[in-house]
A and B are shown apart, each in its own frame.
Chain A
Amino acid sequence: MMPVERLLIEFLLTFLSRDELNAFLRSPQNTATLVGALIAVSGALLGAFLLLRGMALTSDAISHTVLLGIVVAFLLMVHGFRVEGDTSSPWLILGASLAGVGTVALTELLYRSGLVRQDAALGLAFPLLFAIAVILVSRFVDDAHLDEDAVLVGEIGLAWANTNSHCFQNCQSVTVTEDHPAAKMTRQCVNCRELGISPRDERAEFIEVCGNCGPYSPAQAWNAGLLDSEPALVFFPKSISVTLAMTLLTLAFVLLFYKELKLSTFDPALAKALGFRPGALNYALMALVSLVAVGAFDAVGSILVIAFFIIPPAAACLLTDRLALLLLLSPLIGAAGAVFGYDLARGLLFGFLPIADGIAFVNRLFGLDLVEEWDSSISASMVLMIFLFFLLAWVFSPRYGLISTALRRANSRRLFDDQVVLAHIHNHQFTAQAATELRVETLHLHFRWTQRKMGRVLARLRALNYIRIVSGGAILTERGEERVHRFRATMLEAHNMPASLA
């Protein structure tokens, strides 16, 4: 990981100065937004396929089980291998992802036994694993990086603080030994505990112990004041490299297997018949979903991450019918949610509308006394922004939105009204009943409409020059006749009947 990170930083340093880069990465907003956007992009790319395959809640399942993998791996690291627990360590990510995939296979086994339905298997197995993980966390883990709060919302706001340091110039690794001038030597009693005596006892034996000996990386050395001149350091947040790596991996997977994914999503039987092995592809997809869920755990926790999988593709699928566009739009929506989400958490909707004003308004409206200062969870706010974009898509989508659907319905209803009235007039004009059937004052009775509705329809038809009123009765104009004939012709054609019937 480190050499790749270094390459990336060197690449960035060709555009920016070192100070600019450090300043950029040191800002919580930039790092949080970047991490959030990367999670959103990788989640949305995979989520699009999950959504189309009707497996959206599998991401929920995986994110729950992955928590258990993380906790167990974390406990193993701390108690088994005696290393510092780090939830962004590649080994932990790998192990926890495997746990995710394994559990998906396990539920499949459970509901194939035929005793439990699929939804019940999901609804039971995943809460259970989550429950065990939570019990483990609350009972056995005593660490700032892994507590119940981190499980829920992650720590994206602190992502900037957990960094790898890279040194570019003036690099000096220092190893402090016992004869180093900076070494802090202390006396320690070697046999006090054994004999149960106090250090003042005369039998006590002492050795000199070095309190701060050991190797120092350039950054640590500079912080400890062991260096005279400042090394050229870049502090690169670990979360960025983790999420960037998983985004690139996801992107590569989707680009490389685009054809196979598309085929096995829309027609698994054909994919199998053509020899594409949709089963293997499915498991690869699950593995990537687990990987993203683990990688995102640090930043957004294990529940909110499913929003990054499900909501952006759902919004995008209200906007387009094409898979390629879906794959383009959903990461965009997710990333936009991440960008605006940070502002929302800091109290600005869309970056300029202060939420405090909203709270003040609510206070005035209901006579309440709420604190007019909004400072909230960043990851939850990102999810809320994504949800807001979903709502916008739902209401305003040109093809499937509420508004356009309502307009289209109203339009076809109007068209239908016009057509039945025209057909009625066409059938009855120039017949013996014309005088009773077509009288404008009583026309609405034949349709069981209100008079107002009939008046509206007639006015429209007259405005369109389809009918005219002759001595209180409606008859078709030439244009109206033509309209009726055209309509009948198209209807006959649509129902595969000979045109001679017209």
Chain B
Amino acid sequence: MNPRPALGREDRRIWLIIAAMAILGLLFIPFSQTLFGLRFTYTVRVVALGGAILGIISGALGCFAVLRQESLLGDALSHAALPGVAIAFLLAGRELSALLIGAGIASWLGLRFVSALLATTRIKRDAALGIVLASWFAFGIALLAYIQSIPDASQAGLDHFIFGQAAAIIESDVMLVSAVGVIALLVLLAFWKEFKLVTFDAEFAGANGFRVGLINTLLSTLIVVTIVLGLQLAGVILMVGMLIAPGIAARQWTHKLDQMVILAAVFGAFAGGLGAVISALDSDIPTGPMIIVVAFVLVLISLTLAPGRGLIWSRLRQRQNRREFAARNTLRDLYRYALAHGAADTPAPDSFIRGVGDRSAALGLRQLRSEGRVTLGAAGWQLSESGISLAQGDRRNQRLWDLYRRYAYELGLPAVAEERGRDIASLLPANAVARLEAKLEEGADS
């Protein structure tokens, strides 16, 4: 085993971002109190706490659903929980733990049904998910209609499980959810390595003697547990949003699983808490949809702003690349012209450089000029001293790359990808570069 690598700068930055977001999320409580006049009464506190705890659990576990490309499985399984709620109600009455166990069993049966269909028929995965989603849900709806037709049943609140209703949550519910959620998170922690391995390279895991089937089932069961816990708050139809949206948002900020899971938990807590509070304030708004909307805003922010992957950053990087590319090409053109017409500082007429008329020359000239590599005189563009030295360095580098391509095998040089934009000395060891330079002195490139 390698020793644990030191915390890189990249890593530290992301941890900082995560911490900042967690603190921002916490600050939101006093902020909303002063700005929106939101009063954290007992009910609202309970609801917000419930939403946040659920968000943590579903955000953390939802990451795996996102990474394993099982978002739609989450959708199907959450719809599939409905008949379980109804049957549990018929058998045991309105006891939350019973309802959740029923939901879990129904959803888990749906999972097994999908696997059975995939194993024994040629029906594809998406169709199998659709079948389970629609028919389990229909069964649930039929049972709910039957329950409603019972004259004196106290079925009030059962249809809250469809869209979720935060106002219906009480303290004991939050306790139950937290207890089960902590167990689920502990299981996640205990099997962290296995889950990680199975998620990213199931074949490798299998080859190393991990029982992939068992681990997969455990992970799916954990996801079912998460869905079930969220039902009362988010409802069967939109629970999937609470499951995957934090994971998708977190994915944009980092490439590491542990960071992604923690960040998703932070996002989930924020979305769950805020969504639940908003809907608790206005009983007309079901909670599930509200949570989804908050979570989607987080996703949108992440998609645009996240450093590295985000849309703005990639657009900026694209522009930067284009500018550098244009500058390098223009520099080469200038240098080649100057050498062909005298010394390296011979000015090149503007019309020659812009001759072809494409925008990249203008872009390159602007960039070079701002860096002080060229000056515009009466006779045209003239390379400055720093421009000349850069052009010479680039030329030498390109020649070394040419030689590397031609003699790498002959000289027994290590194989690296040919990245001509970069300095060859930064990619090859010093002795290899020295050999190439010796070749250059021999004049092997002429």
Contacts and interface: CB of A to CB of B under 8 A. Distances in A.
Contacts of B309: 115
Nearest to A56: B127
Given A148-B163, A318-B121, A377-B145, A310 B248 contact: no
B127 A303 contact: no
B374 to A, nearest CB: 36
B122 A317 contact: yes
A135 interface: yes
A387 B138 contact: yes
B135 A387 contact: yes
B130 interface: yes
Contacts of A152: 141, 162
B431 interface: no
A311 B131 contact: yes
B135 A122 contact: no
B313 to A, nearest CB: 11
B286 A113 contact: no
Nearest to A374: B146
A306 B128 CA distance: 12
A383 B139 CA distance: 8
A360 to B, nearest CB: 14
A384 interface: yes
Interface residues of A, number: 60
Interface in A309-341: 309-311, 314, 317-318
A365 to B, nearest CB: 12
A131 B292 contact: yes
Contacts of A132: 289, 293
Contact of A124 (B237, B241, B286): B241
Interface stretch (B64-72, B214-222, B396-404): B64-72
Interface in A261-316: 303-304, 306-307, 309-311, 314
Contact of A138 (B71, B133, B285): B285
Nearest to B291: A131
A148 B164 CA distance: 12
A384 B292 contact: no
A148 B162 CA distance: 10
B149 A376 contact: yes
A381 interface: yes
Interface in B277-323: 282, 284-286, 288-290, 292-293, 296, 299, 303, 309-311
Interface string A349-388: 0000000000000000010101101111101110110110
Contacts of B66: 117, 120
B441 to A, nearest CB: 46
A394 interface: yes
A127 B130 contact: no
B428 interface: no
Given A127-B238, A368-B91, A376-B149, A303 B134 contact: yes
A122 B285 CA distance: 24
B244 interface: yes
A383 B299 CA distance: 34
A497 interface: no
Given A377-B141, A383-B134, A390-B131, 12 more contacts: A117-B69, A127-B241, A130-B289, A132-B289, A135-B290, A139-B284, A148-B163, A152-B141, A307-B130, A375-B146, A383-B138, A387-B134
Interface of B: 66, 69-72, 74-75, 79, 90-91, 117, 120-124, 126-131, 133-135, 137-139, 141-146, 149-151, 162-163, 237-238, 240-241, 244-245, 248, 252, 282, 284-286, 288-290, 292-293, 296, 299, 303, 309-311
- Going nearest first, the 3 A-B pairs with the smallest beta carbon separation are A123-B71, A307-B134, A131-B289
